[in-house]
A and B are shown apart, each in its own frame.
Chain A
Protein backbone atom coordinates (compact mmCIF):
# COMPACT_ATOMS: atom_id res chain seq x y z
CA UNK A 1 0.00 0.00 0.00
CA UNK A 2 2.73 2.46 1.01
CA UNK A 3 4.65 1.42 -2.08
CA UNK A 4 1.70 2.21 -4.27
CA UNK A 5 1.35 5.61 -2.65
CA UNK A 6 5.05 6.40 -3.06
CA UNK A 7 4.95 5.28 -6.65
CA UNK A 8 1.91 7.46 -7.28
CA UNK A 9 3.63 10.36 -5.52
CA UNK A 10 6.60 10.16 -7.89
CA UNK A 11 4.30 9.99 -10.89
CA UNK A 12 2.20 12.83 -9.54
CA UNK A 13 5.21 15.05 -9.01
CA UNK A 14 6.26 14.52 -12.62
CA UNK A 15 2.87 15.61 -13.88
CA UNK A 16 2.84 18.35 -11.23
CA UNK A 17 6.10 19.72 -12.60
CA UNK A 18 4.44 20.17 -15.98
CA UNK A 19 1.48 21.89 -14.31
CA UNK A 20 3.88 24.11 -12.36
CA UNK A 21 5.69 25.20 -15.52
CA UNK A 22 2.47 25.95 -17.41
CA UNK A 23 0.97 27.75 -14.41
CA UNK A 24 4.16 29.74 -13.87
CA UNK A 25 3.96 31.08 -17.43
CA UNK A 26 0.28 31.85 -17.02
CA UNK A 27 0.86 33.70 -13.77
CA UNK A 28 3.85 35.63 -15.17
CA UNK A 29 1.75 36.77 -18.09
CA UNK A 30 -0.98 37.77 -15.65
CA UNK A 31 1.47 39.63 -13.43
CA UNK A 32 3.07 41.60 -16.26
CA UNK A 33 0.30 42.00 -18.85
CA UNK A 34 -2.70 41.73 -16.49
CA UNK A 35 -4.34 39.33 -18.89
CA UNK A 36 -5.30 35.67 -18.83
CA UNK A 37 -3.84 34.00 -21.88
CA UNK A 38 -6.38 31.33 -22.57
CA UNK A 39 -4.32 29.91 -25.43
CA UNK A 40 -1.45 29.09 -23.06
CA UNK A 41 -2.51 25.45 -22.72
CA UNK A 42 -2.52 25.00 -26.48
CA UNK A 43 1.07 26.25 -26.63
CA UNK A 44 1.89 23.44 -24.17
CA UNK A 45 0.00 21.00 -26.41
CA UNK A 46 1.92 22.24 -29.46
CA UNK A 47 5.17 21.63 -27.56
CA UNK A 48 4.08 18.02 -27.17
CA UNK A 49 3.06 17.81 -30.83
CA UNK A 50 6.43 19.12 -31.94
CA UNK A 51 8.10 16.42 -29.86
CA UNK A 52 6.03 13.76 -31.66
CA UNK A 53 6.65 15.24 -35.10
CA UNK A 54 10.38 15.67 -34.50
CA UNK A 55 11.03 12.21 -33.05
CA UNK A 56 8.67 9.99 -35.04
CA UNK A 57 8.26 11.79 -38.37
CA UNK A 58 11.61 13.56 -38.70
CA UNK A 59 13.53 10.93 -36.79
CA UNK A 60 15.39 13.52 -34.74
CA UNK A 61 16.93 12.69 -31.35
CA UNK A 62 14.83 13.73 -28.37
CA UNK A 63 17.18 16.56 -27.33
CA UNK A 64 16.81 18.19 -30.72
CA UNK A 65 13.05 17.69 -30.53
CA UNK A 66 13.01 19.83 -27.37
CA UNK A 67 14.84 22.62 -29.18
CA UNK A 68 12.53 22.40 -32.16
CA UNK A 69 9.48 22.50 -29.90
CA UNK A 70 10.67 25.71 -28.25
CA UNK A 71 11.54 27.44 -31.52
CA UNK A 72 8.29 26.50 -33.26
CA UNK A 73 6.05 27.34 -30.31
CA UNK A 74 7.74 30.68 -29.66
CA UNK A 75 7.18 31.55 -33.32
CA UNK A 76 3.50 30.65 -33.04
CA UNK A 77 3.24 32.59 -29.76
CA UNK A 78 4.73 35.64 -31.45
CA UNK A 79 1.93 35.42 -33.97
CA UNK A 80 -0.67 35.03 -31.23
CA UNK A 81 0.79 38.08 -29.47
CA UNK A 82 0.70 40.08 -32.70
CA UNK A 83 -2.85 39.10 -33.65
CA UNK A 84 -4.75 38.48 -30.44
CA UNK A 85 -2.96 40.39 -27.67
CA UNK A 86 -1.16 43.55 -28.80
CA UNK A 87 -3.98 45.08 -30.86
CA UNK A 88 -6.63 44.14 -28.29
CA UNK A 89 -4.92 45.12 -25.03
CA UNK A 90 -5.04 48.93 -25.45
CA UNK A 91 -8.75 48.97 -26.29
CA UNK A 92 -11.47 49.69 -23.75
CA UNK A 93 -11.87 46.64 -21.45
CA UNK A 94 -8.71 45.30 -23.10
CA UNK A 95 -7.77 42.65 -20.50
CA UNK A 96 -11.17 40.96 -20.53
CA UNK A 97 -11.34 41.16 -24.32
CA UNK A 98 -7.95 39.43 -24.50
CA UNK A 99 -9.44 36.54 -22.53
CA UNK A 100 -11.94 36.14 -25.37
CA UNK A 101 -9.49 36.67 -28.21
CA UNK A 102 -7.03 34.16 -26.78
CA UNK A 103 -9.92 31.77 -26.14
CA UNK A 104 -10.72 32.01 -29.85
CA UNK A 105 -7.06 31.33 -30.63
CA UNK A 106 -7.08 28.29 -28.34
CA UNK A 107 -10.10 26.83 -30.13
CA UNK A 108 -8.46 27.50 -33.47
CA UNK A 109 -5.20 25.80 -32.47
CA UNK A 110 -6.96 22.88 -30.85
CA UNK A 111 -9.31 22.27 -33.78
CA UNK A 112 -6.53 22.59 -36.35
CA UNK A 113 -4.48 19.91 -34.64
CA UNK A 114 -7.51 17.72 -34.00
CA UNK A 115 -8.65 17.83 -37.63
CA UNK A 116 -5.20 17.20 -39.12
CA UNK A 117 -3.67 14.90 -36.52
CA UNK A 118 -6.76 13.10 -35.25
CA UNK A 119 -7.83 12.55 -31.66
CA UNK A 120 -5.81 9.42 -30.90
CA UNK A 121 -2.96 9.47 -28.42
CA UNK A 122 0.55 9.28 -29.91
CA UNK A 123 3.59 7.77 -28.33
CA UNK A 124 6.79 9.77 -28.04
CA UNK A 125 10.12 8.08 -27.37
CA UNK A 126 11.84 9.89 -24.53
CA UNK A 127 14.79 8.71 -22.47
CA UNK A 128 14.91 4.91 -22.17
CA UNK A 129 15.57 2.93 -19.02
CA UNK A 130 14.60 3.33 -15.42
CA UNK A 131 15.93 3.61 -11.94
CA UNK A 132 14.82 1.47 -9.02
CA UNK A 133 14.77 2.93 -5.54
CA UNK A 134 13.76 -0.03 -3.43
CA UNK A 135 10.21 -0.85 -4.39
CA UNK A 136 9.70 2.36 -6.40
CA UNK A 137 10.57 2.54 -10.07
CA UNK A 138 11.36 5.90 -11.63
CA UNK A 139 11.80 5.90 -15.38
CA UNK A 140 14.78 7.88 -16.56
CA UNK A 141 12.44 10.09 -18.49
CA UNK A 142 10.43 11.01 -15.39
CA UNK A 143 13.73 11.83 -13.75
CA UNK A 144 14.56 14.03 -16.73
CA UNK A 145 11.25 15.86 -16.36
CA UNK A 146 11.87 16.50 -12.66
CA UNK A 147 15.49 17.55 -13.07
CA UNK A 148 14.81 19.77 -16.10
CA UNK A 149 11.87 21.29 -14.29
CA UNK A 150 14.01 22.24 -11.32
CA UNK A 151 16.73 23.60 -13.62
CA UNK A 152 14.19 25.69 -15.55
CA UNK A 153 12.68 27.05 -12.33
CA UNK A 154 16.12 28.00 -11.02
CA UNK A 155 16.99 29.60 -14.35
CA UNK A 156 13.80 31.68 -14.28
CA UNK A 157 14.54 32.75 -10.71
CA UNK A 158 18.05 33.70 -11.79
CA UNK A 159 16.86 35.73 -14.77
CA UNK A 160 14.20 37.58 -12.77
CA UNK A 161 16.52 38.47 -9.87
CA UNK A 162 19.98 38.71 -11.35
CA UNK A 163 19.65 40.11 -14.84
CA UNK A 164 18.68 43.61 -15.90
CA UNK A 165 15.94 42.45 -18.23
CA UNK A 166 14.53 40.24 -15.47
CA UNK A 167 14.48 43.12 -13.01
CA UNK A 168 12.72 45.22 -15.64
CA UNK A 169 10.09 42.50 -15.97
CA UNK A 170 9.59 42.63 -12.20
CA UNK A 171 9.46 46.42 -12.33
CA UNK A 172 6.63 46.32 -14.88
CA UNK A 173 4.80 43.75 -12.74
CA UNK A 174 5.12 45.97 -9.67
CA UNK A 175 4.07 49.23 -11.32
CA UNK A 176 3.43 49.65 -14.99
CA UNK A 177 3.07 53.41 -14.53
CA UNK A 178 6.42 53.75 -12.73
CA UNK A 179 8.04 51.57 -15.38
CA UNK A 180 6.85 53.95 -18.08
CA UNK A 181 7.99 56.91 -16.01
CA UNK A 182 11.56 55.62 -15.82
CA UNK A 183 11.62 54.90 -19.53
CA UNK A 184 11.26 51.12 -19.62
CA UNK A 185 9.88 50.01 -22.98
CA UNK A 186 6.83 48.34 -21.45
CA UNK A 187 5.51 46.96 -24.75
CA UNK A 188 8.80 45.16 -25.30
CA UNK A 189 8.79 43.73 -21.77
CA UNK A 190 5.24 42.49 -22.30
CA UNK A 191 6.20 40.67 -25.50
CA UNK A 192 9.32 39.20 -23.91
CA UNK A 193 7.29 37.87 -21.00
CA UNK A 194 4.67 36.42 -23.31
CA UNK A 195 7.27 34.66 -25.43
CA UNK A 196 9.29 33.51 -22.42
CA UNK A 197 6.19 31.94 -20.92
CA UNK A 198 5.42 30.28 -24.27
CA UNK A 199 8.92 28.78 -24.36
CA UNK A 200 8.43 27.33 -20.89
CA UNK A 201 5.05 25.86 -21.88
CA UNK A 202 6.61 24.34 -24.99
CA UNK A 203 9.37 22.62 -23.01
CA UNK A 204 6.83 21.38 -20.48
CA UNK A 205 4.66 19.90 -23.24
CA UNK A 206 7.60 18.28 -24.98
CA UNK A 207 8.94 16.92 -21.68
CA UNK A 208 5.66 15.41 -20.55
CA UNK A 209 4.62 13.89 -23.90
CA UNK A 210 6.72 10.71 -23.49
CA UNK A 211 5.25 10.23 -20.00
CA UNK A 212 1.56 10.72 -20.62
CA UNK A 213 1.30 10.26 -24.40
CA UNK A 214 0.48 13.14 -26.71
CA UNK A 215 -3.16 14.01 -27.33
CA UNK A 216 -4.58 17.14 -28.96
CA UNK A 217 -6.72 17.70 -25.86
CA UNK A 218 -3.82 17.81 -23.41
CA UNK A 219 -3.80 21.60 -23.70
CA UNK A 220 -7.37 21.95 -22.55
CA UNK A 221 -6.79 19.91 -19.44
CA UNK A 222 -3.57 21.82 -18.78
CA UNK A 223 -5.07 25.31 -19.05
CA UNK A 224 -7.91 24.46 -16.67
CA UNK A 225 -5.50 22.89 -14.19
CA UNK A 226 -3.06 25.77 -14.53
CA UNK A 227 -5.88 28.21 -13.97
CA UNK A 228 -6.82 26.41 -10.76
CA UNK A 229 -3.18 26.44 -9.72
CA UNK A 230 -2.89 30.16 -10.41
CA UNK A 231 -6.05 30.97 -8.46
CA UNK A 232 -4.95 28.86 -5.50
CA UNK A 233 -1.37 30.10 -5.65
CA UNK A 234 -2.44 33.75 -6.00
CA UNK A 235 -2.78 35.52 -9.33
CA UNK A 236 0.60 36.80 -10.49
CA UNK A 237 2.46 34.91 -7.77
CA UNK A 238 5.34 32.77 -9.08
CA UNK A 239 6.14 30.85 -5.89
CA UNK A 240 2.47 30.05 -5.41
CA UNK A 241 2.16 28.74 -8.96
CA UNK A 242 5.11 26.38 -8.58
CA UNK A 243 4.18 25.03 -5.17
CA UNK A 244 0.51 24.59 -6.04
CA UNK A 245 1.31 23.07 -9.43
CA UNK A 246 3.42 20.38 -7.80
CA UNK A 247 0.84 19.81 -5.07
CA UNK A 248 -2.00 19.52 -7.53
CA UNK A 249 -0.14 16.94 -9.62
CA UNK A 250 0.53 15.02 -6.43
CA UNK A 251 -3.07 15.28 -5.28
CA UNK A 252 -4.42 14.20 -8.64
CA UNK A 253 -2.20 11.12 -8.70
CA UNK A 254 -2.95 10.12 -5.12
CA UNK A 255 -6.66 10.66 -5.64
CA UNK A 256 -6.62 8.46 -8.74
CA UNK A 257 -5.24 5.61 -6.60
CA UNK A 258 -8.49 5.61 -4.66
CA UNK A 259 -11.12 6.81 -7.09
CA UNK A 260 -11.82 6.78 -10.79
CA UNK A 261 -9.70 9.12 -12.93
CA UNK A 262 -12.55 11.55 -13.65
CA UNK A 263 -13.18 12.01 -9.95
CA UNK A 264 -9.67 13.42 -9.58
CA UNK A 265 -10.58 16.09 -12.11
CA UNK A 266 -13.84 16.82 -10.30
CA UNK A 267 -11.85 17.32 -7.10
CA UNK A 268 -9.77 19.93 -8.90
CA UNK A 269 -12.85 21.87 -10.04
CA UNK A 270 -14.28 21.72 -6.54
CA UNK A 271 -11.00 23.14 -5.20
CA UNK A 272 -11.20 26.00 -7.71
CA UNK A 273 -14.71 26.87 -6.63
CA UNK A 274 -13.85 26.74 -2.95
CA UNK A 275 -10.84 28.99 -3.39
CA UNK A 276 -12.66 31.52 -5.56
CA UNK A 277 -15.32 31.73 -2.87
CA UNK A 278 -13.31 31.79 0.33
CA UNK A 279 -9.84 32.97 -0.61
CA UNK A 280 -9.82 34.67 -4.02
CA UNK A 281 -6.43 36.26 -3.30
CA UNK A 282 -4.86 32.79 -3.12
CA UNK A 283 -2.79 30.99 -0.52
CA UNK A 284 0.34 33.03 -1.10
CA UNK A 285 -1.14 36.53 -1.35
CA UNK A 286 1.27 39.32 -0.69
CA UNK A 287 4.44 37.42 -1.48
CA UNK A 288 7.27 39.16 -3.33
CA UNK A 289 7.19 39.43 -7.07
Chain B
Protein backbone atom coordinates (compact mmCIF):
# COMPACT_ATOMS: atom_id res chain seq x y z
CA UNK B 1 0.00 0.00 0.00
CA UNK B 2 2.75 2.44 1.01
CA UNK B 3 6.22 2.12 -0.53
CA UNK B 4 9.11 4.46 0.06
CA UNK B 5 12.40 3.93 -1.71
CA UNK B 6 15.56 6.00 -1.84
CA UNK B 7 13.78 8.71 0.14
CA UNK B 8 15.95 11.59 1.34
CA UNK B 9 14.71 14.75 3.05
CA UNK B 10 16.69 17.97 3.09
CA UNK B 11 16.29 21.32 4.81
CA UNK B 12 18.51 23.68 2.86
CA UNK B 13 21.92 22.05 3.00
CA UNK B 14 21.03 19.81 5.94
CA UNK B 15 20.13 16.22 5.17
CA UNK B 16 17.64 15.09 7.79
CA UNK B 17 16.79 11.72 6.22
CA UNK B 18 19.07 9.76 3.94
CA UNK B 19 18.08 7.15 1.39
CA UNK B 20 15.52 5.17 3.33
CA UNK B 21 13.25 2.37 2.15
CA UNK B 22 10.02 1.49 3.92
CA UNK B 23 6.88 -0.45 3.10
CA UNK B 24 3.53 -0.90 4.79
CA UNK B 25 0.85 -3.27 3.58
CA UNK B 26 -2.92 -2.89 3.54
CA UNK B 27 -4.29 -3.42 7.04
CA UNK B 28 -0.84 -3.25 8.54
CA UNK B 29 0.35 -0.91 11.30
CA UNK B 30 3.97 0.11 11.09
CA UNK B 31 5.94 2.08 13.66
CA UNK B 32 8.77 4.52 13.14
CA UNK B 33 10.72 4.87 16.35
CA UNK B 34 13.75 6.95 17.14
CA UNK B 35 15.08 9.68 19.36
CA UNK B 36 14.47 13.43 19.03
CA UNK B 37 15.65 14.66 15.67
CA UNK B 38 16.02 11.18 14.17
CA UNK B 39 13.89 12.18 11.21
CA UNK B 40 10.50 10.58 11.91
CA UNK B 41 8.42 13.69 11.29
CA UNK B 42 10.50 14.54 8.24
CA UNK B 43 9.58 11.22 6.64
CA UNK B 44 5.86 11.69 7.31
CA UNK B 45 5.95 15.25 5.97
CA UNK B 46 7.82 14.11 2.87
CA UNK B 47 5.14 11.47 2.21
CA UNK B 48 2.55 14.25 2.20
CA UNK B 49 4.75 16.56 0.11
CA UNK B 50 5.35 19.02 2.95
CA UNK B 51 9.14 18.69 3.03
CA UNK B 52 11.70 18.90 0.25
CA UNK B 53 12.60 15.34 -0.66
CA UNK B 54 13.99 13.13 -3.38
CA UNK B 55 13.32 9.47 -4.07
CA UNK B 56 10.04 7.68 -4.53
CA UNK B 57 6.77 7.68 -2.57
CA UNK B 58 4.11 5.30 -3.83
CA UNK B 59 0.62 4.80 -2.46
CA UNK B 60 -1.47 1.96 -3.80
CA UNK B 61 0.87 1.79 -6.80
CA UNK B 62 0.58 5.50 -7.67
CA UNK B 63 3.75 7.58 -7.66
CA UNK B 64 3.19 10.69 -5.54
CA UNK B 65 6.58 12.34 -5.99
CA UNK B 66 6.25 15.76 -7.58
CA UNK B 67 2.57 16.13 -6.72
CA UNK B 68 1.34 18.89 -4.40
CA UNK B 69 -0.01 18.00 -0.96
CA UNK B 70 -3.67 18.45 -1.86
CA UNK B 71 -3.27 15.96 -4.72
CA UNK B 72 -1.67 13.48 -2.33
CA UNK B 73 -4.55 13.78 0.13
CA UNK B 74 -6.91 12.99 -2.75
CA UNK B 75 -4.79 9.89 -3.43
CA UNK B 76 -5.42 8.57 0.07
CA UNK B 77 -2.75 9.80 2.48
CA UNK B 78 -3.67 11.67 5.64
CA UNK B 79 -1.62 13.00 8.53
CA UNK B 80 -2.39 13.79 12.13
CA UNK B 81 0.59 16.07 12.64
CA UNK B 82 2.94 16.35 15.57
CA UNK B 83 1.60 19.12 17.80
CA UNK B 84 -1.99 18.45 16.54
CA UNK B 85 -2.39 21.70 14.62
CA UNK B 86 -6.16 21.89 14.81
CA UNK B 87 -7.76 25.10 13.50
CA UNK B 88 -8.04 26.95 16.81
CA UNK B 89 -10.82 29.41 15.89
CA UNK B 90 -13.04 26.78 14.34
CA UNK B 91 -15.53 24.45 15.98
CA UNK B 92 -15.02 20.71 16.09
CA UNK B 93 -17.47 20.27 13.22
CA UNK B 94 -15.76 22.93 11.11
CA UNK B 95 -12.41 21.25 11.74
CA UNK B 96 -13.88 17.96 10.57
CA UNK B 97 -15.26 19.68 7.49
CA UNK B 98 -11.77 20.93 6.59
CA UNK B 99 -10.58 17.32 6.49
CA UNK B 100 -13.51 16.25 4.30
CA UNK B 101 -12.72 15.72 0.63
CA UNK B 102 -15.77 13.90 -0.68
CA UNK B 103 -18.52 11.40 0.09
CA UNK B 104 -21.37 11.68 2.56
CA UNK B 105 -20.43 14.46 4.99
CA UNK B 106 -23.11 13.94 7.65
CA UNK B 107 -22.49 10.18 7.73
CA UNK B 108 -18.72 10.61 8.00
CA UNK B 109 -19.16 13.16 10.79
CA UNK B 110 -21.45 10.77 12.60
CA UNK B 111 -18.81 8.02 12.28
CA UNK B 112 -16.20 10.29 13.83
CA UNK B 113 -18.44 11.41 16.68
CA UNK B 114 -19.24 7.75 17.30
CA UNK B 115 -15.55 6.90 17.35
CA UNK B 116 -14.70 9.84 19.62
CA UNK B 117 -17.66 10.48 21.97
CA UNK B 118 -15.73 13.33 23.62
CA UNK B 119 -15.89 15.24 20.36
CA UNK B 120 -19.66 14.90 20.22
CA UNK B 121 -19.99 16.60 23.60
CA UNK B 122 -17.87 19.46 22.27
CA UNK B 123 -19.02 19.55 18.68
CA UNK B 124 -19.63 23.31 18.58
CA UNK B 125 -16.77 24.31 20.89
CA UNK B 126 -13.80 26.14 19.40
CA UNK B 127 -10.95 23.69 18.95
CA UNK B 128 -8.39 26.08 20.44
CA UNK B 129 -10.18 25.99 23.79
CA UNK B 130 -10.16 22.19 24.10
CA UNK B 131 -7.76 20.08 26.15
CA UNK B 132 -4.67 18.52 24.61
CA UNK B 133 -6.23 15.08 24.56
CA UNK B 134 -9.40 16.37 22.90
CA UNK B 135 -7.36 18.24 20.31
CA UNK B 136 -5.44 15.05 19.58
CA UNK B 137 -8.70 13.16 19.05
CA UNK B 138 -9.84 15.93 16.75
CA UNK B 139 -6.60 15.88 14.76
CA UNK B 140 -6.98 12.15 14.21
CA UNK B 141 -10.68 12.44 13.35
CA UNK B 142 -9.95 15.27 10.92
CA UNK B 143 -7.37 13.07 9.19
CA UNK B 144 -9.86 10.19 9.03
CA UNK B 145 -12.49 12.42 7.39
CA UNK B 146 -10.73 12.00 4.05
CA UNK B 147 -11.15 8.20 4.37
CA UNK B 148 -7.44 7.65 3.76
CA UNK B 149 -5.79 4.44 2.65
CA UNK B 150 -2.73 5.39 4.66
CA UNK B 151 -3.16 7.16 7.99
CA UNK B 152 -0.03 8.73 9.44
CA UNK B 153 0.04 9.56 13.15
CA UNK B 154 2.90 11.73 14.38
CA UNK B 155 3.43 11.52 18.15
CA UNK B 156 -0.26 11.04 18.91
CA UNK B 157 0.38 10.15 22.56
CA UNK B 158 2.82 12.90 23.49
CA UNK B 159 1.86 14.35 26.86
CA UNK B 160 -1.41 12.44 27.14
CA UNK B 161 -2.78 10.43 30.06
CA UNK B 162 -2.29 6.61 29.97
CA UNK B 163 -6.01 6.05 29.44
CA UNK B 164 -5.98 8.12 26.25
CA UNK B 165 -2.82 6.35 25.09
CA UNK B 166 -4.71 3.07 25.48
CA UNK B 167 -7.63 4.48 23.48
CA UNK B 168 -5.34 5.48 20.63
CA UNK B 169 -3.74 2.05 20.68
CA UNK B 170 -7.16 0.41 20.49
CA UNK B 171 -8.11 2.75 17.66
CA UNK B 172 -5.10 1.66 15.61
CA UNK B 173 -6.24 -1.95 16.05
CA UNK B 174 -9.73 -1.05 14.87
CA UNK B 175 -8.54 0.86 11.80
CA UNK B 176 -6.38 -2.11 10.80
CA UNK B 177 -9.36 -4.40 10.78
CA UNK B 178 -10.99 -1.98 8.35
CA UNK B 179 -8.03 -2.43 5.99
CA UNK B 180 -6.36 0.87 6.69
CA UNK B 181 -2.59 1.18 6.68
CA UNK B 182 -1.28 3.00 9.73
CA UNK B 183 2.15 4.59 9.97
CA UNK B 184 2.92 5.62 13.54
CA UNK B 185 5.84 7.86 14.46
CA UNK B 186 6.54 7.75 18.19
CA UNK B 187 9.20 8.48 20.74
CA UNK B 188 7.18 6.34 23.11
CA UNK B 189 8.70 3.14 21.74
CA UNK B 190 6.95 0.90 24.20
CA UNK B 191 3.54 2.05 23.09
CA UNK B 192 4.52 2.12 19.42
CA UNK B 193 5.88 -1.44 19.43
CA UNK B 194 2.84 -2.72 21.30
CA UNK B 195 0.42 -1.06 18.87
CA UNK B 196 2.00 -2.13 15.57
CA UNK B 197 2.90 -5.20 13.53
CA UNK B 198 6.28 -4.09 12.27
CA UNK B 199 8.67 -1.30 13.10
CA UNK B 200 11.62 0.65 11.77
CA UNK B 201 14.23 2.12 14.05
CA UNK B 202 15.57 5.45 12.86
CA UNK B 203 18.86 7.00 13.96
CA UNK B 204 19.99 10.36 12.60
CA UNK B 205 18.21 9.88 9.31
CA UNK B 206 19.12 6.24 8.72
CA UNK B 207 17.18 3.05 9.34
CA UNK B 208 19.27 0.96 11.70
CA UNK B 209 16.89 -1.88 12.47
CA UNK B 210 13.60 -3.26 11.23
CA UNK B 211 11.43 -6.26 11.89
CA UNK B 212 8.26 -7.44 13.61
CA UNK B 213 7.43 -5.13 16.50
CA UNK B 214 7.27 -7.97 19.01
CA UNK B 215 10.72 -9.14 18.01
CA UNK B 216 12.19 -5.63 18.25
CA UNK B 217 10.57 -5.18 21.65
CA UNK B 218 12.45 -8.30 22.81
CA UNK B 219 15.79 -7.25 21.32
CA UNK B 220 18.22 -6.42 24.19
CA UNK B 221 19.93 -3.57 22.30
CA UNK B 222 16.63 -1.91 21.48
CA UNK B 223 15.30 -2.46 24.98
CA UNK B 224 18.36 -0.68 26.31
CA UNK B 225 18.28 2.21 23.84
CA UNK B 226 14.55 2.89 23.50
CA UNK B 227 12.64 1.17 26.27
CA UNK B 228 14.86 2.27 29.11
CA UNK B 229 15.30 -1.28 30.36
* Chain A positions near chain B (C-beta within 8 angstroms): 164, 167-168, 170-171, 174-175, 177-187, 288-289
Beyond A167-B97, A171-B98, whether A181 also contacts B90 by CB under 8 A is no
In whole angstroms, what is the CA distance A82 to B28 when docked?
A: 44
Write the chain B residue with the least CB distance to A185.
B70
Which range holds the interface residue count of chain B?
Answer: 20 to 34
Q: Is B101's CB under 8 angstroms from A183's CB?
A: yes
Q: Is B90's CB under 8 angstroms from A170's CB?
A: yes
Q: Is B85's CB under 8 angstroms from A175's CB?
A: yes
Q: Is A177's CB under 8 angstroms from B81's CB?
A: yes
| B99 sits at the interface (CB 8 A) | yes
In whole angstroms, what is the CA distance A184 to B69 when docked?
A: 8
- In the bound complex, residues from chain B placing their C-beta under 8 Å from that of A171 are 87, 90, 98
Number of A-B contacts (CB under 8 A): 63
Q: Is A178's CB under 8 angstroms from B81's CB?
A: yes
**Distance to closest chain A CB from B185 (angstroms):** 14
**Distance to closest chain B CB from A7 (angstroms):** 40
Q: Pick the contact of A182: B68, B88, B142 (CB < 8 A).
A: B142
In whole angstroms, what is the CA distance A175 to B89 when docked?
A: 10
- In the bound complex, residues from chain B placing their C-beta under 8 Å from that of A288 are 89
In whole angstroms, what is the CA distance A177 to B86 when docked?
A: 10
Interface string of B95-133 (1 = CB under 8 A from A): 001110100000000000000000000000000000000
Q: Pick the contact of A181: B48, B74, B88, B101 (CB < 8 A).
A: B48
- Besides A180-B48, A183-B72, 6 other CB < 8 A contacts? A170-B87, A178-B85, A180-B69, A183-B73, A183-B78, A183-B99
**Distance to closest chain B CB from A163 (angstroms):** 11
Q: Is B89's CB under 8 angstroms from A180's CB?
A: no
Q: Pick the contact of B70: A164, A175, A183, A289 (CB < 8 A).
A: A183
